[in-house]
């Protein structure tokens, strides 16, 4: 027997079972709700996935990368600071030169005025000019030709006035250019400072997520990595059949007296914290340490590792001696001081202290010799 629905009046349709329309509708709603629930749950799971765990090796690479970038920016900051200092000195020198030229101008104007007044009064030269241009006042009076010398002196004073005025104008123009350059260096310095602070903050935030035991493992990972790189470097062969270790032992290059003083200063700073842009006496960055060490030895050197690499004489790695500076990374963004036995003293990075390390524990760009 078939069950007929109630037609267009909104009753049940032809379902084949009593009340079948309501059953289907109910079943459909349950299915829709179930599907929706699955969609919502899966959507929620997709929107907030649990990040995969990061290995300590990955954290190490990222932290080191951030610190390397900060150190490169630190070098730019220090370079801008040094250029700013030079520009300020140049402006001060220009100001002194301009003041001297202005004083000379005032004297020349007074002299020219005196000559003009004297010539206006009697058509001759003043007594001072007579004494200056002749062996004696009597000689001048006896020689009419000396009158022409007086005219030449007047023209000479006028020419000196013009030359001095030109020099003053030149000083003013140069000072304007120096001020413009100084402003540019200040902007570079501020930009580098912001970049440094951002990189250091990112590295610090990343390290802060680590548990204490993980931080200790990270430090050990750094030490193990450095030790491995040092061993590889010592075993490498800069010359066929001769390792770096053998070359350093054979060279026996002794430090100069200056080099000994520089090494003594640098090693005395071991244990002091790294702080970017610092030059001591309580904290240092890498080039700040080498700068002050060689300053203590009586030899001024450039402020930044990049300028140390660019300006100082280069020597072969196998010939380096205590006191030489080892420059690291392709951008010359790090520097340490060689102390002998394949070892350097350096200020590594924020969160670390001045310490001894293997000279080959980082990629070496080259070696330079301050003295």
Longest dimension (CA), the chain: 160
Q: Is 346 a catalytic site residue? A: yes
Angle at CA 68, nearest 5°, toward 183 and 71? 35
Residue 76's nearest CA partner among 193, 197, 198 is: 193
Three-state DSSP at 357 gives strand
Residue 232's nearest CA partner among 216, 244, 214, 249 is: 244
| Active-site residue identified among 4, 31, 60, 346 | 346
Q: What is the DSSP string of 106-159?
A: HHHHHHHHHHHHHHHHHSS--HHHHHHHSSSHHHHHH-THHHHHHHHHHHHHHH
| Active-site residue identified among 4, 31, 60, 334 | 334
Sequence-separated (6 or more) residues with CB below 8 Å from residue 348: 274, 286, 355, 357
Q: Is 334 a catalytic site residue? A: yes
Q: Is 286 a catalytic site residue? A: yes
Q: Which helix (H) or strand (E) holds 230?
A: helix 212-235
Radius of gyration of the chain (CA): 41
Residues recognised as catalytic: 286, 334, 346
């Amino acid at each position: 027997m078939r069950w007929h629905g109630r037609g267009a009046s909104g009753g049940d349709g032809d379902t084949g079972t009593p009340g079948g329309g309501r059953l289907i509708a109910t079943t459909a709603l349950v299915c829709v709700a179930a599907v929706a629930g699955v969609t919502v749950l899966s959507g929620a799971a997709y929107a907030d996935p649990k990040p995969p765990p990061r290995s300590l090796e990955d954290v190490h690479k990222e932290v080191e990368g951030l610190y390397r970038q900060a150190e490169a920016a630190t070098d730019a900051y220090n370079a801008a600071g040094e250029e700013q200092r030079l520009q300020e000195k140049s402006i001060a020198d220009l100001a002194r030169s301009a003041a001297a030229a202005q004083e000379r101008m005032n004297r020349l104007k007074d002299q020219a005025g005196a000559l003009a007044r004297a010539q206006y009064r009697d058509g001759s030269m003043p007594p001072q000019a007579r004494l200056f241009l002749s062996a004696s006042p009597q000689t001048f009076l006896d020689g009419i030709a000396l009158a022409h010398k007086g005219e030449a002196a007047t023209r000479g004073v006028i020419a000196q006035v013009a030359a001095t005025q030109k020099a003053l104008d030149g000083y003013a123009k140069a000072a304007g250019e120096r001020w413009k350059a100084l402003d540019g260096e200040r902007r570079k310095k501020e930009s580098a400072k912001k970049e440094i602070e951002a990189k250091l903050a990112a590295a610090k935030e990343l390290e802060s997520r680590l548990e204490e035991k993980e931080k200790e493992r990270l430090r050990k990972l750094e030490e193990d990595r450095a030790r491995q790189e040092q061993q590889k470097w010592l075993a490498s062969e800069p010359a066929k059949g001769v390792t770096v270790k053998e070359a350093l032992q054979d060279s026996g290059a002794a430090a100069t007296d200056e080099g000994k003083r520089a090494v003594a200063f640098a090693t005395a700073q071991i244990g002091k914290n790294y702080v970017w842009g610092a030059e001591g006496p309580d904290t240092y960055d890498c080039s700040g340490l080498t700068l002050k060490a060689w300053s203590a030895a009586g030899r001024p050197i450039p402020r930044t590792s990049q300028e140390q690499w660019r300006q100082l004489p280069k020597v072969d790695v196998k010939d380096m001696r205590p006191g030489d500076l080892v420059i690291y990374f392709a951008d010359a963004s790090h520097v340490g001081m060689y102390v002998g036995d394949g070892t350097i003293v350096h200020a590594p990075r924020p969160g670390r202290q001045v310490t001894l390390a293997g000279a080959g524990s980082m990629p070496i760009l080259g070696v330079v010799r301050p003295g």
